[in-house]
Structure 1
Amino acid sequence: MEFLSDYGLFLLKAITVVIAILFVVGGVVAVGARNRKPGSEGELSVRKLNDELEDDREQLEDAILSKDELKALDKDKKKEDKARLKAEKKRSKDGLESREVRKRVFVMDFDGDIQASAVDTFRREITAVLTMARPDDEVVVRLESGGGMVHSYGLAASQLKRIRDKGIALTVCVDRVAASGGYMMACIANRIVAAPFAIIGSIGVVAQLPNFSRLLKKHDVDYELFTAGEYKRTVTMFGHNSMKAKDKFQSDLEDTHDLFKAHVKQFRPRIEIEKVATGDIWYGQQAIENKLIDEVGTSDDYIVAACDRADVFGVRYEHRKTLQEKLGISLQKGIESAFTRILTVLSRQQQSKG
């Protein structure tokens, strides 16, 4: 028992040190971000995912197939290329377009925190895509978010609506979670695809804050609040909250919830909104039964299938990182990786004891 006690104390100290280091590293990265000069923020990175998929396939073929099989495969590919060139020549001779215009699919990622911070780069990616996208193209957004601030996610949702307003098909793929503000974004899509155990829903509004008024009163500390306008401030963390203030705050939450429900109903009219707008969450298969999504599947399957019928491009706006930021991020990743390994080992030990 003494060993376990010492080990537990050591683990708590280690976790405290790790958290302190992460805090310092985060500060270094934040300082580097603030010092970034305007006009040198970053650039748009575009990758053709068809080519990456083909490269992966060819590497597997080289590793798995025999020389005779590779030779036969190469022969078949040459036949296909020859037939395609012949068809293009015939079309050109007949006065038709020499090459069929292929549909294009643009893939973007949105990984949302409580402030929806990713919207700053997301809006630039969408703006860039909209300058090139044709009406028969498609935009796919791989979305991961448990929600956060209403106004921040409202702006992020508005960015997706820009795509819909241009008449371009929008698909949102959810592999882990699209809840609350995340679902506020996802519901705008023409089609929502979610993994079997992805968390969907949480159509509700929550707010909470501590109140220190009794503690301040106990220590003879007065808290004075001055406002102009009856509802400039309703509830507060430091003063006494009257029932009228609480009722007003609750009324504001209800109004926000009503707006949220109307938003979802506008883009998902088949949903029984009062049934699902309880703040509850559902997993993928349950979500499709409640018409919150359209299909159960992963983003990987959807994008691989898209590569068979279209030219698929991954679009990402990347900030140029200073040396200070690069060092900070590398250190942070190393510490996080070590911390994750420690937790994994502890989890396995607990499982083995069971």
Structure 2
Amino acid sequence: MELIADFAVNYGLFLAKALTVVIAIGLVAGWILSMIAQARAERDGDQLKITHVNERLERMADTLNATLLNDSERKARAKRKKVEDKQRRKAEKLGKRHKPARLFVLDFDGDIRASAVESLRDEITAVLQVVEPEDEVMIRLESAGGMVHSYGLAASQLARLRDAGVRLTICVDRLAASGGYMMACVGERVVAAPFSIIGSIGVVAQIPNFHRLLKDKQIDFEMHTAGDYKRTLTVFGENTEEGRAKFREELEDTHGLFKHFVARYRPSLDINRVATGEHWYGSQALDLALVDEVATSDDVMLIAARDGRDVFTVAVHHKSGLLSRIAEQSRLAISRSLGESGLAKVVHRPQ
């Protein structure tokens, strides 16, 4: 009887363990499937939002006039507007009214990784499918720069518009430095607010080294590479003068590419004068030909609307779940703490 009892107990424990493992595997599998489903939902849930700026401006004007004008003035304005609307509809009916040119407004708020390029590329793709020869695209740009390859891609997205023959205006209300200016210079017209920060055409790279600390603690660090310059500087190993020289050479090469890119789109620039890593305010940047006009993006849109052009803001919103939002907030916090007003050369290359 004792043997049977022991067998029953052991068998029961075995079943409990097996059941626990099965449940654990089921939970993990369920979690993975839910994450995949969530990722698909987020991908398929992207939304393209278009806002007609003219209507918003008109509502603002109507609200102000309702307060500022007396009864006779409001009636006269309403009568005049009614006549204008009637004439416009009649012209459209007779086919005499030309379709007004449009101004498409896109936003780019850059971090160190130029993460906003994911939305920018979709917005540009959408606009390119509907843009007509008389239309124009305006980018409201703000960025202190970041990684070379990331901002190279962002600038290339803007170049798609120029290559397609689309008039491109870049508006900088606060900041377009380094990688931000790499993007801005692609514009056919660059407009900057008077005290916006412009320039910083330079490259920066920095890396800590813990070799002496490890040596003091008698901790060995080994790194094996194939290729003389697979690694030039390291975090834990002992850096050599040869490695430092090669690293500085790579920085100079990157800076040369940056200068060549800016000079291609802004041939009137004295590139050697402005490619020192310095930055200037908008009014100073105008004197240096870094920008073409001193104004705000609001002025550009308001003038376009007054000229009878239809102004639309275009934005792609990528839906994200809780985990994605937490990761994004963490990334932004790190970007703010590490951000530099200079293109950042990637120190660690892919294996």
TM, length-normalised to structure 1: 0.79
Match for residue 262 of structure 1? 260
Unmatched tracts of structure 2, length 5 or more: 1-34, 334-351
Q: Does 1:74 align with 2:73?
A: no
Match for residue 315 of structure 1? 314
* Residue correspondence of structure 1 range 137-176 to structure 2 within 5 A: 137-176=135-174
Match for residue 114 of structure 1? 112
Match for residue 284 of structure 1? 282
Match for residue 29 of structure 1? none
How much has 1:75 moved relative to structure 2?
Answer: 1.1
Match for residue 200 of structure 2? 202
How much has 1:86 moved relative to structure 2?
Answer: 4.5
Question: In structure 2, the residue corresponding to 1:117 is in which secondary structure?
Answer: coil
How much has 1:84 moved relative to structure 2?
Answer: 3.2
Question: In structure 2, the residue corresponding to 1:144 is in which secondary structure?
Answer: strand
Indicate conservation of the 8 Å contact 1:33/1:325, yes or no. no
Question: In structure 2, the residue corresponding to 1:269 is in which secondary structure?
Answer: coil
Match for residue 36 of structure 1? 39
Aligned residues: 294
Indicate conservation of the 8 Å contact 2:88/2:97, yes or no. no
Match for residue 63 of structure 2? 59
Q: Which has the larger radius of gyration?
A: 2
Indicate conservation of the 8 Å contact 2:140/2:171, yes or no. yes
Distance 2:196 2:96 in 1: 44
Distance 2:176 2:270 in 1: 19
Residue 42 of structure 1 aligns with an amino acid whose one-letter code is: D
Residue 181 of structure 1 aligns with an amino acid whose one-letter code is: G
How much has 1:87 moved relative to structure 2?
Answer: 4.3
Residue 295 of structure 2 aligns with an amino acid whose one-letter code is: G
How much has 1:43 moved relative to structure 2?
Answer: 1.1
CA offsets per residue over residues 84-105 of structure 1, 9 Å max, x none? 345456xx3xxxx343111011
* Structure 1 segments of 4+ aligned residues over 6 angstroms from their partners: 323-326
How much has 1:42 moved relative to structure 2?
Answer: 1.1
Determine which of 233, 241, 244 is the counterpart of 2:242.
244
Indicate conservation of the 8 Å contact 2:38/2:321, yes or no. no
Shift in CA distance, 42/87, structure 1 to aligned 2, threshold 3 Å: closer
CA offsets per residue over residues 212-234 of structure 1, 9 Å max, x none? 10001000011101111111111
Residue 219 of structure 1 aligns with an amino acid whose one-letter code is: K
Shift in CA distance, 127/33, structure 1 to aligned 2, threshold 3 Å: farther
* Residue correspondence of structure 1 range 77-116 to structure 2 within 5 A: 77-88=81-92, 92=94, 97-116=95-114
Indicate conservation of the 8 Å contact 2:121/2:157, yes or no. yes
Distance 2:90 2:47 in 1: 40
Shift in CA distance, 152/88, structure 1 to aligned 2, threshold 3 Å: closer
CA offsets per residue over residues 241-268 of structure 1, 9 Å max, x none? 1000000000000000000000000000
The alignment-based identity, stated in percent, is: 54
Distance 2:320 2:225 in 1: 43
CA offsets per residue over residues 126-180 of structure 1, 9 Å max, x none? 0000000012110000000000000000000000000000000000000000000
TM, length-normalised to structure 2: 0.79
Shift in CA distance, 277/223, structure 1 to aligned 2, threshold 3 Å: same
Match for residue 11 of structure 1? none
Indicate conservation of the 8 Å contact 2:151/2:179, yes or no. yes
How much has 1:35 moved relative to structure 2?
Answer: 4.8
Match for residue 228 of structure 2? 230
How much has 1:306 moved relative to structure 2?
Answer: 1.1
Question: In structure 2, the residue corresponding to 1:107 is in which secondary structure?
Answer: strand
Distance 2:39 2:68 in 1: 48
CA RMSD between the two structures? 2.2
Distance 1:271 1:324 in 2: 46
Residue 72 of structure 1 aligns with an amino acid whose one-letter code is: A
Question: In structure 2, the residue corresponding to 1:232 is in which secondary structure?
Answer: coil
Indicate conservation of the 8 Å contact 1:187/1:264, yes or no. yes
Match for residue 50 of structure 2? 46
